[in-house]
């Protein structure tokens, strides 16, 4: 049922809807993120670059064959992107992932990339963490991308087998060892022969995505591409 605009305005008066990036009130018709923030988000536009010029693609060179290395936004501290990711991860605002996924999926689709993916697979959380947080932040981005790209997604294709310790205060090698053995393919029949778009909320070192991609390739998927909401510069 469509809510009449007058009623929607009345509800907004009692429960003000605010932009998840800047906390200013949203205007009618704005979808979780205001028009001003949407115009000013630090888009990477990596999908518009040829592979040798894509800095994210270069980070996987020599480690992993990646078809497309994509990230919607650049991760900048103390700005809109950090606020959005915080809302998503710690405030339970899964709408952040859904909205950004839809927008990014539509953008990638307009560049013809939808044809390069058969299946979207989110990086899984350990079930203990999932139980504590109630949702996997990568799932909402996968679901949004699925809508925008019109490509199916599967929440449980991958599984985390161990509870990883916090990644902070670890060297790159320690982080790698920490994640390298903790993923397995839970649904082998679903990934075999598929061109998979592996997604996560944020890319820092890339070790988590690498570890997931390795098990997917070992399970016989045709190729792996990666996409995150944001990626940190090194």
Shortest reach from residue 24's CB to Zn ion, in Å: 5
**Residue 140 contacts residue 99 (beta carbons within 8 Å):** no
Please say which residue, 37 or 66, places its beta carbon nearer to Zn ion: 37
19 binds Zn ion (CB under 5 A): yes
Segment 21-40, which members bind Zn ion (CB under 5 A)?
21-22, 34, 37
Shortest reach from residue 82's CB to Zn ion, in Å: 14
Shortest reach from residue 19's CB to Zn ion, in Å: 3
User: Per CB under 5 A, which region of 19-27, 53-61, 139-147, 212-220 contacts Zn ion?
Assistant: 19-27
Shortest reach from residue 31's CB to Zn ion, in Å: 11
User: Per CB under 5 A, which region of 14-22, 121-129, 143-151, 166-174 contacts Zn ion?
Assistant: 14-22
Let me know how long the chain is: 234
**Residue 27 contacts residue 34 (beta carbons within 8 Å):** yes
Q: Give CA torsion, residues 231, 176, 88, 46, to 10 deg.
A: 20
Cα–Cα distances in Å, from 110 out to 19, 44, 47, 171, 203? Answer: 26, 16, 11, 39, 24
Segment 37-96, which members bind Zn ion (CB under 5 A)?
37
User: Per CB under 5 A, which region of 15-23, 84-92, 159-167, 199-207 contacts Zn ion?
Assistant: 15-23
Please say which residue, 24 or 162, places its beta carbon nearer to Zn ion: 24
DSSP classification of residue 126: P
Segment 121-180, which members bind Zn ion (CB under 5 A)?
none
CA angle at residue 170 from 93 to 223, to 5 degrees? 65
Shortest reach from residue 98's CB to Zn ion, in Å: 17
Contact positions vs Zn ion (CB under 5 A): 19, 21-22, 34, 37
């Amino acid at each position: 049922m469509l809510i009449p605009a007058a009623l929607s305005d009345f509800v907004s008066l009692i429960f003000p809807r605010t932009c998840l990036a800047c906390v200013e009130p949203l205007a009618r018709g704005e979808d979780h993120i205001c028009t001003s923030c949407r115009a000013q988000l630090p888009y990477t536009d990596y999908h518009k670059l040829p592979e040798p010029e894509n800095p994210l693609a270069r980070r996987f060179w020599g480690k992993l064959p990646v078809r497309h290395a994509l990230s919607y936004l650049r991760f900048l501290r103390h700005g809109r992107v950090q606020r959005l990711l915080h809302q998503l991860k710690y405030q339970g605002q899964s709408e952040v992932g859904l909205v950004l996924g839809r927008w990014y999926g539509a953008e990638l689709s307009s560049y013809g990339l939808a044809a390069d993916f058969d299946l979207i697979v989110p990086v899984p959380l350990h079930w203990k963490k999932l139980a504590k947080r109630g949702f996997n932040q990568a799932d909402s981005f996968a679901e949004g991308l699925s809508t925008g790209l019109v490509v199916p997604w599967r929440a449980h294709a991958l599984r985390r087998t161990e509870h990883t310790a916090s990644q902070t205060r670890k060297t790159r090698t320690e982080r790698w060892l920490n994640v390298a053995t903790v993923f397995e393919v839970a649904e082998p029949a679903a990934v075999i022969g598929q061109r998979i778009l592996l997604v996560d909320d944020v890319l820092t070192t890339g070790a988590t995505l690498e570890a997931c991609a390795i098990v997917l390739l070992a399970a016989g998927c045709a190729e792996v591409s990666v996409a995150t909401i944001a990626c940190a510069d090194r």
